[in-house]
Amino acid sequence: MKDPRTCSAMECPGNGFGSFILWFGWYGFNTGSTQSILTAAKARVAALAATNTTLAAASGGVAALFANLVLMERYTGEAVFNLNFAMNGCLGGLVSITSGCAVIEPWAGILTGFVAGLLYLWMSKQLVKWCIDDAVDAIPVHMVNGIWGLISTGLMAAPGRMMDAYGTDKHVGWFYSWGRGSGDFTLMGCQLVGILFILGWVTALMLPFFLLLNYMGWFRSDALEEVVGLDISYHGGGSHNMGEVKSEYLDAFRKRRDEQIRQRSGRSFSTNEEGVPTNTRSTDLYEDNEETNGGVDRVVG
């Protein structure tokens, strides 16, 4: 569809709660990776990782929120504070800082997160323009900002921080290498090779799997199931936005689902003018579950 359906206001509290859970868990990813704080160097590494994790997430959320605010005001004339963009901007900042949280300075952590928020917003809108369905913005948050995080480490890994974390500052971020007058590209080159390896590894493993799913017809839901919503077609119940689904789509889905169930059961049914089976016991009939406000018909008996 040209204009994708956006999350409703009722979903924002749950999305926000989930985002803060992930943010809290990220301290385990980053700070916990030091494994101990028994030495002064290890303690500095852990403290730096926690600081950068916080700063990058906050700056990513602020960047995505206000960049979208400016764009909406410019294109629609109305300034909108979209919390979903803010939350995903925070997650983009967390993803981007994971690579270099222990080896870059706090100012670089802010910069990394800020750029991550802008990259997230740009790629999210590009996916809509390209009509690629990414309901949770996994590509902008994880892929794009994962790549940016590796690049930012190759650019801004500080000598003193590298010494604390790894005991050597022979190869540092490219910006610092130029400051030394050497232009050493070793660390940056390693980061780029890592990006290419990850892309190749994931493609080699997952592309055959996705091609098989597509061949079997399991790669995505069909058009009618998407229109009525996966809450109904896959999970057997309605949701708070059931009123947005047209009744003719629900009727068509119910009729097709009933026919599929009958075919699988191997039974033959004749129906009256209203489409109700007439040559079967009452226990073979399907009744509408009124409690789900138009949910999927269920078998009784």
pLDDT in tens, 78-136: 888 888 999 999 999 999 999 999 999 999 999 999 999 999 999 999 998 888 888 88
Cβ-proximal residues to 121 (8 Å cutoff; 6+ apart), any chain:
63, 64, 67, 68, 71, 85, 89, 140
Residue 281: the pLDDT is 44
Q: Per-residue confidence at 62, pLDDT binned at 50, 70, 90? A: very high
Give Cα separations from 50 to 10, 37, 44, 256, 269 (angstroms).
32, 13, 10, 54, 65
Instruction: Kindly tell me the sign of the dihedral angle through the C-alpha atoms of 8, 143, 206, 32.
Output: negative
The answer to whether 65 and 89 are in contact (CB under 8 A) is: yes
Cβ-proximal residues to 188 (8 Å cutoff; 6+ apart), any chain:
151, 154, 155, 173, 174
Rounded to whole angstroms, the Cα distance separating 187 from 192 reads 9
Higher pLDDT: 46 or 246? It is 46
- pLDDT tens digits, one per residue of 182-206: 889 999 999 999 999 999 999 999 9
pTM of this prediction? 0.78
Residue 44: the pLDDT is 95
The answer to whether 283 and 301 are in contact (CB under 8 A) is: yes
pLDDT at residue 67 above 80? yes
pLDDT at residue 288 above 50? no
Q: Per-residue confidence at 272, pLDDT binned at 50, 70, 90? A: very low
Summary mean pLDDT of the chain: 83
Q: What is the mean pLDDT of residues 269-279?
A: 46
The answer to whether 13 and 39 are in contact (CB under 8 A) is: no
Residue 296: the pLDDT is 42
Rounded to whole angstroms, the Cα distance separating 294 from 281 reads 24
Q: What is the mean pLDDT of residues 41-56?
A: 96
Residue 188: the pLDDT is 96
Q: What is the mean pLDDT of residues 9-34?
A: 88
